[in-house]
Amino acid sequence: MTIETVTDKRYSSFYVDELDDNDVRADSRRQAVEKEIGLPPQVSRELEKILSEDKYSGDLFGPNSLFSASSPPPDTAFNSSIFTGDTWQNVAGAKDKFFVFSAFYDDRNPKIAYIRVIAATLTRNSEQVKCKLWYNNPHKAVLVKAVNKPIRENWNLKYSAYFVFCILGDHEVPDAVSVVAKNKTHSNHLIVHNHPRTRRLLEANAIDFAVCVKPLHYEYNNVTRLIEFIEFNRLLGVSHFILYNHTIGSQVDCLLREYIRKGLVSVLQWQLDIKSQKEIRTEGLFASLNDCLYRTMFRFKFVLMIDLDEYIVPHLDRNLTELIHRLSALNSNYYRRGAYSFQNAFFYLQWPDDSSQVNRSSGQSRISNSLITLLKTRRKEKLHIHKQRSKLIVAPQRVVEVGNHFVWEFVPKYTVVNVSPRVAFLHHYRICEYGGDDCVKTASVVDKRTHFWKSALIESVEKLYKNFTLQCNEN
């Protein structure tokens, strides 16, 4: 693999490509990571151009301002919450669809700091934009140039998730930012997350976990599966769940309100005006994954990037904390680890239910009698290799760009650990991936590892479901 570098040291040590310990090229690539690695050439050229130009400071109420003299300045009562308030907003005056969702201060490279905006626009020939930096002082605003960089998993569809880099230069960290087209018309206002004054100080020895889930869509209303997903992951040690609401049904809406009230779940509205699968991949899932990556940064030590039909299950440990301790003990180079990759195992739903679960207890509710992680104990014998349907636990502060099945970019000197399936792997509960029922003919084995948590899972599900029926009038 060729690694592009730039000569200007201002841009060095910015990104690093993924390292794979099992890759035959690992030794040479491991040496390369110790060197300063540069930006992709098209981005570095644009950054060099920007940083060589004089900074432009706009007059808030002047003839070229974003607000007219008669209009009010932006709201300066900035919300410090990391989990609520962000929505997709339009970039007015753009020639094609251009939307922005959230903004994060990123200073992990000591040589350059910027605001990283999660956006969506044309995959090719995206429009050049600028950033308006807003401060608590309503009379202070700065207009700076920006750099667009598509998030790489766009499947060559018309629109892609994007990073927009607002280059701060010598400017202070703003409280909010607006992305504007050439006409400089203000149409969006993004609170800047990861601001130094709002960052949580992570305890050195604490290990905590959050879960990121791609947008819920097609009026998702499967209460049973959602309760099971949340309660099982809580037993494994997860303390918070971040979900994105494209469209959900009334019952799931009521359930999530109860979880939100308890502080266990955060839900962000995700109404992106781009056609899923036809124009952009799966409701813009790569924008949501990277938004969640940065949203959990400085808040959680580890984040699971999984879907609602997937579980990262330890096979030697009782929970994820013990799993992480085991993985760190197995490798002396633990402090270079930026993510853990877990191989995928299909537990096809077409296979028969576990015989010990068929005689269901009459004393349990219908939800406990239909827990998929207990009913489906037959899995495909052959697991997928890493990077093919594998899923991740990431250390968010060490990751630059995350994909659906692997990390695209790490902060320099960090890498991925490919976890042995003897230790843990991904339990994936679904129908045959190519349609039909042919998958049931594949070689399979019985795997009852999830029954280790059976009693605790049923107890927690029963308690939650009882409360749900009372709150949501479910019969």
Strands (E) across 123-189 are located at: 130-134, 141-150, 159-167, 176-180
- Other residues' Cβ atoms within 10 Å of the Cβ of residue 184: 16
User: What pLDDT is attached to residue 360?
Assistant: 60
User: What pLDDT is attached to residue 64?
Assistant: 30
pLDDT at 82 over 60: no
CATH of domain 209-472: 3.90.550
Question: pLDDT higher for 369 or 304?
Answer: 304
Question: pLDDT higher for 15 or 146?
Answer: 146
Contact present, 461 and 364 (Cβ < 8 Å): no
Contact present, 409 and 344 (Cβ < 8 Å): no
Unique residue bearing structure tokens 């997709």: 88
Of 127, 117, 105, 114, the C-alpha closest to 163 is 117
Instruction: Determine the average pLDDT of the residues in 27-31.
Output: 32
pLDDT at 187 over 60: yes
Q: Which of 187-191, 195-199, 207-211, 248-252 has the lowest mean pLDDT?
A: 195-199
CB-neighbour burial class of residue 34 (10 A; exposed 0-12, middle 13-18, buried 19+): exposed
Contact present, 297 and 210 (Cβ < 8 Å): no
Give the predicted TM-score (pTM) of the model: 0.83
CB-neighbour burial class of residue 276 (10 A; exposed 0-12, middle 13-18, buried 19+): middle
> pLDDT tens digits for 124-176?
999 999 999 999 877 688 999 999 999 999 889 999 999 999 999 999 999 99
**Strand pairing of 176-180 and 130-134?**
antiparallel
- Spatial distance between the Cα atoms of 38 and 12, rounded to a whole number of angstroms: 5
Of 412, 426, 399, the C-alpha closest to 341 is 426
Give percent of the chain with pLDDT exceeding 90: 69
C-alpha pair distances (Å), 456 with each of 236, 407, 435:
11, 33, 34
**What type of residue sits at position 355?**
S
pLDDT at 112 over 50: yes
- Give residue 394's Cα distance to chain centre: 10
User: What pLDDT is attached to residue 198?
Assistant: 84
Of 109, 42, 99, 18, the C-alpha closest to 402 is 18
Cβ-proximal residues to 56 (8 Å cutoff; 6+ apart), any chain: 143, 144, 145
Q: Where are the domains of the chain?
A: 1-53, 55-198, 209-472
Average per-residue pLDDT for the chain: 83
